[in-house]
A = this chain, B = another copy of it.
Amino acid sequence: MDFPRDVTAMRREFHRFPETAFLEYRTAAIVAKRLSELGYTVKAGPEIMHMDGVRGLPSDQAFTAAKEAALQAGADERWLNRMPGGQTAICGELQRGPGPVLALRFDMDALPVHESQSEQHPPNTQGFSSIHPGRMHACGHDGHTAIGLAVAEKLAQPDARWNGTVRLIFQPAEEGGRGAQPIVASGLLDDVDIFLASHLGCQLPSGQIALTADGFLWAEKWNVTFTGRAAHAAMCPEEGRNALLAAALAVAGLYALPRDGQSDTRINVGLLQAGRTRNVIADRAYLELEVRAASSEGLKRLTEGARRTLEGAALTQDVNVEIDLYGNTISAQSDPAIMTRLEKAALATKVGTIVSNWPIGGGDDATFMMQRVQQCGGHAGYCLIGADIAAPHHSSLFDIDENALERAVRLLAAFVEDAA
Residues of A whose CB lies within 8 Å of any CB of B are 111-114, 134, 138-139, 175-176, 202-203, 217, 219, 221, 229-240, 242, 244-245, 247-249, 251-253, 255-283, 285, 288-290, 292, 298, 301, 305, 308-309, 311-318, 326, 359-363, 392-396
Contacts and interface: CB of A to CB of B under 8 A. Distances in A.
B112 A268 contact: no
A67 to B, nearest CB: 22
Given A268-B280, A280-B395, 4 more contacts: A237-B268, A242-B255, A248-B252, A252-B256
B261 A361 contact: yes
A232 B278 contact: no
Q: Which of A221, A229, A280 has the most CB of B within 10 A?
A: A280
A239 B261 CA distance: 9
Given A249-B253, A262-B238, A309-B316, A231 B278 contact: no
Contacts of A314: 312
A134 B248 CA distance: 23
B260 A238 contact: yes
Contact of A270 (B114, B275, B289, B309): B275
Contacts of A138: 230
Contact of A312 (B139, B264, B313): B313
Nearest to A281: B268
A69 to B, nearest CB: 20
B239 A395 contact: yes
Given A244-B272, A308-B316, A395-B231, A277 B362 contact: no
Number of copies: 4
A311 B311 CA distance: 10
B232 A112 contact: no
A361 B234 contact: yes
A392 B266 contact: no
A112 B230 CA distance: 12
A259 B259 CA distance: 8
Nearest to A233: B268
Given A261-B238, A273-B273, A361-B236, A392 B231 contact: yes
Contact of A276 (B237, B249, B271, B360): B271
A259 B253 contact: no
Nearest to A289: B278
19 contacts: A112-B277, A114-B276, A229-B395, A230-B395, A231-B393, A234-B362, A234-B363, A244-B269, A247-B272, A248-B251, A252-B256, A261-B359, A269-B275, A270-B275, A273-B273, A278-B289, A308-B316, A312-B316, A313-B316
A252 B257 CA distance: 10
Given A239-B392, A308-B315, A361-B235, A277 B113 contact: yes
Nearest to A302: B238
A233 B266 contact: yes
A278 B268 contact: yes
A185 to B, nearest CB: 23
A247 B255 CA distance: 13
Interface centre among A175, A270, A396, by most chain B C-beta atoms within 10 angstroms, is A270
Contact of A279 (B176, B247, B283): B176
Nearest to A252: B252
A291 to B, nearest CB: 10
A280 B270 contact: yes
Contacts of A312: 311-317
Contact of A261 (B237, B249, B277, B313): B237
Contacts of A281: 258, 268, 270, 394
A210 to B, nearest CB: 13
Given A232-B362, A283-B396, A316-B312, A272 B253 contact: no
Given A231-B394, A259-B259, A259-B266, A301 B238 contact: yes
